[in-house]
Amino acid sequence: MDSFIIAAGMLCLLTAPAYGDRGTGKARSCSDIRHFYSGKGFPLDDVPQSEISGEHLRICPQGYTCCTSDMEEKLATLSRREMEGLLKEAGRGLHTSLSGQYKAFDGYLLELLNHSEVALQETFAPSMGALYSQNALVFSDLYMELRRYCRTSNVNLEEALNDFWARLLEKLFYQANKQYIIGEDYLECVSKQMETLRPFGDAPREFKLKVTRAFVAVRSFIQGLLVSGDVVRRVSQVQLSLECMRAIMRMTYCPHCRGMASARPCANYCSNVMKGCLANQADLNTEWRHLADTMAQVAGRLDGPAGVDLVILSLPNRIAEAISAMMENIETVNSKVFQACGSPREGATSTTAQEEVSKGGKIIVEDRVGPSTGKLEQMVSDVSRRLKDMQPYWVSLPSVLCSDRVATGAGAEDRCWNGMNRARYLPEVIGDGLASQINNPEVEIDITKPDMTIRQQIMQLKIMTHRLKNALNGNDVDFVDASDDASGSGSGICADDVCPPSPRLVAPITDPPTVYAHRPENKRVIKGSAGQNLPCVLSSLLSLATLLLLRR
More confident call, 58 vs 23: 58
For residue 58, the one-letter residue type is R
DSSP state of 166: H
pLDDT for the residue numbered 356:
52
User: How would you classify residue 81: left for phi > 0, otherwise alpha for psi between -120 and 50, otherwise beta?
Assistant: alpha
More confident call, 276 vs 150: 276
Burial bucket for residue 413 (CB in 10 Å: 0-12, 13-18, 19+): middle
**What radius of gyration, in Å, describes the C-alpha atoms of the chain?**
37
- CB atoms under 10 Å from CB of 456, counted, come to 14
Query: What is the tens place of the pLDDT at every residue in 384-440?
Result: 999 999 999 999 999 999 998 998 888 888 999 999 999 999 999 999 999 999 999
- Contact between residue 442 and residue 419 where contact means Cβ atoms under 8 Å apart: yes
In 93-208, where do the E strands start and end?
180-181
Residue 488 pLDDT more than 50? no
pLDDT for the residue numbered 236:
95
Q: What is the mean pLDDT of residues 37-59?
A: 94
Q: What is the mean pLDDT of residues 141-159?
A: 89
Angle 436-442-443 (CA atoms, 0-180°, nearest 5)?
65
Q: Burial code of 309-342, b = ≥16 C-beta within 10 A, e = fewer?
A: bbbbbbbbbbbbbbbbbbbebbeebbebbeeebe
Q: DSSP states of 372-389 as a string? A: --SHHHHHHHHHHHHHHH
- Contact between residue 485 and residue 544 where contact means Cβ atoms under 8 Å apart: no
Residue 508: pLDDT band (50, 70, 90) is very low
Mean pLDDT of the chain: 81
pLDDT for the residue numbered 518:
36
For residue 217, the one-letter residue type is A
Query: What is the tens place of the pLDDT at every residue in 222-259?
Result: 999 999 999 999 999 999 999 999 999 999 999 999 99
Query: What is the tens place of the pLDDT at every residue in 274-310?
Result: 999 999 999 999 999 999 999 999 998 888 777 899 9
For residue 193, the one-letter residue type is Q
Residue 1 pLDDT more than 70? no
pLDDT for the residue numbered 25:
52
Alpha-carbon distance of 343 to 338, in angstroms, equals 5
pTM score: 0.76
pLDDT for the residue numbered 552:
45
Percentage of the chain exceeding pLDDT 90: 60
Which residues lie closer than 8 Å to 120 by C-beta, 6 or more apart? 139, 315, 316, 319, 365
pLDDT for the residue numbered 175:
87
Percentage of the chain exceeding pLDDT 70: 77
Q: Which range, of 195-204, 359-368, 528-537, averages the lowest pLDDT?
A: 528-537
Residue 486 pLDDT more than 60? no
pLDDT for the residue numbered 373:
62
Alpha-helical segments (H) within 177-278: 184-192, 194-197, 203-236, 242-252, 254-257, 267-277
Angle 161-166-171 (CA atoms, 0-180°, nearest 5)?
125
Q: Which of 311, 319, 367, 256 is nearest to 28 (CA)?
A: 256
502-505 — which CB contacts under 8 Å span 24+ positions?
Answer: 502/459, 503/459, 505/450, 505/455
- Contact between residue 244 and residue 443 where contact means Cβ atoms under 8 Å apart: yes
Alpha-carbon distance of 215 to 221, in angstroms, equals 10
In 32-81, where do the E strands start and end?
none
pLDDT for the residue numbered 375:
85
Three-state SS annotation for 332-364? HHHHHHHHHHCCCEECCCCCHHHHHHHHCCCCC
Residue 319: pLDDT band (50, 70, 90) is very high
Residue 181 pLDDT more than 60? yes
- CB atoms under 10 Å from CB of 470, counted, come to 16
Residue 450 pLDDT more than 80? yes
| Alpha-carbon separation of residue 392 from 428, 436, 454 (angstroms) | 22, 18, 17
Alpha-carbon distance of 89 to 71, in angstroms, equals 27
Query: What is the tens place of the pLDDT at every residue in 154-165?
Result: 789 999 999 999
Residue 537: pLDDT band (50, 70, 90) is very low
pLDDT for the residue numbered 39:
94
Query: What is the tens place of the pLDDT at every residue in 95-115?
Result: 999 999 999 999 999 999 999
Tally helices (H) and strands (E) across the chain.
23, 2
Phi, psi (rounded to 5 degrees) for 506: -85, 120
